[in-house]
Amino acid sequence: MNTVYSIVDSIRYEGPQSSNRLAYRWYDAQRVVLGKPLVEWLRPAACYWHNFCWAGQDPFALGGNLFERPWFSGEPLAAAQMKLDAAFDFFQRLNMPFWCFHDRDVAPEGTTLRESNAYLDAVLERAALKMQDSGVQLLWGTANLFSHGRYMGGAATNPDPEVFAYAAAQVKHVLEWTQRLNGANYVLWGGREGYETLLNTRLAAELDHYGRFLAAVVEHKHKIGFKGTLLIEPKPQEPTKHQYDYDSATVYGFLKRYGLEGEVKVNLEVNHATLAGHSFEHEVATAAALGILGSIDANRGDEQLGWDTDQFPNNHVALVPAMLEIIRYGGLGAGGMNFDAKVRRQSIEPTDQLEGHIGGLDTLARAFLCAAALHESGELDRAVDERYSGWSGELGRHIEAGASLDDLASRVHQLGLSPQPRSGRQERLENLVNRYI
Ligand code: XLS
Ligand code: NI
Ligand code: NI
């Protein structure tokens, strides 16, 4: 098929010495690392919205499309089908094993939900065939509950219950489609589930409504027998001033309160962690510690800009600590690494999108390879084991089994305990990591 992405047949691994800008230099999909192929560790995905829907607008550009793509004009449903063809052509040329979508990315919105659903059905019926032909799989589907004006005050947390109901109906349809397309996960990003001002907001009621919404999604998942994982994508703000799903720890507290901690995990986005004032590895480690690490939205922010710039990852060194946490967790399971990333608006040509993904995937692969070598050496684990070695002794085990203050006080006196400070060896460990970069 000929589309705007026909500039290259198939993007392949050529190795670090290659100077071919349309080849992978680090992403060698079938290379076995720590017992399984790289592609199974990364499970990379390309997203629909940034690639095929965004036309280069920013808040200062009025009207019109900056990017010229044939599917940006014409009869909406025919254009959506043309866009689908281009999307699958794009995934295949990149040898991208997974894709992700919002309902409103793939099909136009109608005047009623019935009409919107019919449009979505028409395009996703063809997407199912495309997936079969190409072997490209669905990492996750999601409903767009933040673009239409009705969602300006939130979806599940909207003051109007009719909006809650409408959002629920939308999620039901997309969840069922995600199941039908064999999606590995279903994502809920609470774009406007938050507030602009507390002056008009019943915070406690909104949290309860959000809890009810999520519980209903969980119930429906079990009712239809969807096997994928439900994921909440934390973000601290933007578009709302304050978003309820601030970060991993906040989401965990929310899940616990509504009894859903065994049902829902998190989809962590690199730059959302930064916006929350965390490092990305902090978010990954926290979610892993709480048992809710699900999937990753790979991108990066800009140190000087405080918003979600969604740039492609290009610094493998920065990602090594997070990759190490993922390896220690045993991988992402059904999750993967979705490029929630877009080209800069001056990158107007289709090749820019291909090259963005090539660089992004190479960055992830390289970071993973560094982290795997570091992990395999065992040197870091040995240093950490040594640091915590007291906890496998008698006293440590006793405390973990639930020692009381009385008991511990008498031990300190009886044994004459007088613990001394020991070096945390941070610089030694930083130097050790640098040997693997
Ligand atoms: C926006 C989010 C969004 C989700 C999917 O910041 O990252 O793109 O990933 O709704
Ligand atoms: Ni984002
Ligand atoms: Ni995202």
Same domain membership, residue 270 and residue 144: yes
Predicted pLDDT of residue 373: 98
Structural domain that includes position 126: 32-377
Distance CA 320, CA 281 (A): 9
Residues 402 and 369 in one domain: no
Predicted confidence at residue 273, as pLDDT, reads 98
Q: Are 96 and 357 spatial neighbours (Cβ–Cβ below 8 Å)?
A: yes
pLDDT attached to residue 68: 96
Per-residue pLDDT of the chain (437 residues; tens, 9 = 90+): 899 999 999 999 999 999 999 999 999 999 999 999 999 999 999 999 999 999 999 999 988 899 999 999 999 999 999 999 999 999 999 999 999 999 999 999 999 999 999 999 999 999 999 999 999 999 999 999 999 999 999 999 999 999 999 999 999 999 999 999 999 999 999 999 999 999 999 999 999 999 999 999 999 999 999 999 999 999 999 999 999 999 999 999 999 999 999 999 999 999 999 999 999 999 999 999 999 999 999 999 999 998 999 999 999 999 999 999 999 999 999 999 999 999 999 999 999 999 999 999 999 999 999 999 999 999 999 999 999 999 999 999 999 999 999 999 999 999 999 999 999 999 999 999 999 99
Using a CB cutoff of 5 Å, list residues around ligand 3, an ion: 269, 297, 340
Q: Are residues 228 and 327 in the same domain?
A: yes
Q: Do 342 and 415 lie in a common domain?
A: no
CA distance 196 to 240: 6
Q: Out of 47, 146, 340, 342, give the residue to mutate to test ligand 1, the one with the largest number of ligand atoms within 8 Å of its CB.
A: 340
What domain count does the chain have? 2
Q: How far is CA 195 from CA 152, 153, 415, in A?
A: 10, 7, 55
> Residue 277 carries which DSSP code?
T
Report the CATH number that the domain containing residue 273 is assigned in CATH.
Answer: 3.20.20.150
State yes or no: cis peptide before 239, omega within 30 of 0: yes
Q: Does residue 371 sit within a domain?
A: yes
**Domain final residue, candidates 334, 349, 377:** 377
DSSP string, 26-62: S--TT-EETTEEHHHHH-EEEEHIIIII--S--TT--
For residue 50, is it within any domain? yes
Nearest-atom index, ligand 1, CA of 297 = 9
Using only the alpha carbons of the chain, give its radius of gyration.
24
Same domain, 269 and 418: no
Q: Which of 87, 56, 71 lies closest to 342, judged by CA? A: 56
Q: Is this prediction's pTM over 0.85?
A: yes
User: Does a structural domain hold residue 11?
Assistant: no
Tokens representing residue 104 in the block: 């409103």
Within its chain, how far is the Cα of 96 from the centroid?
A: 16
| C-alpha to C-alpha distance for 269 and 45, rounded to whole angstroms | 13
Same domain, 205 and 306: yes
Same domain, yes or no, for 370 and 396? no
In a domain, 238, yes or no: yes
The residues lining ligand 1, judged by C-beta closer than 6 Å to any ligand atom, are 102, 142, 187, 189, 233, 235, 269, 297, 308, 340
Same domain, 48 and 150: yes
365 shares its domain with 402: no
For the CA of 235, the nearest atom of ligand 1? 6
The Cα–Cα gap between 81 and 75 comes to: 10
Q: What is the pLDDT of residue 64?
A: 85
Catalytic residues: 102, 105
- Report yes or no: 163 and 153 within 8 Å, Cβ to Cβ: yes
**Interacting residues of 397 by C-beta distance below 8 A, sequence separation 6+:** 391
- Are both 260 and 396 inside the same structural domain? no
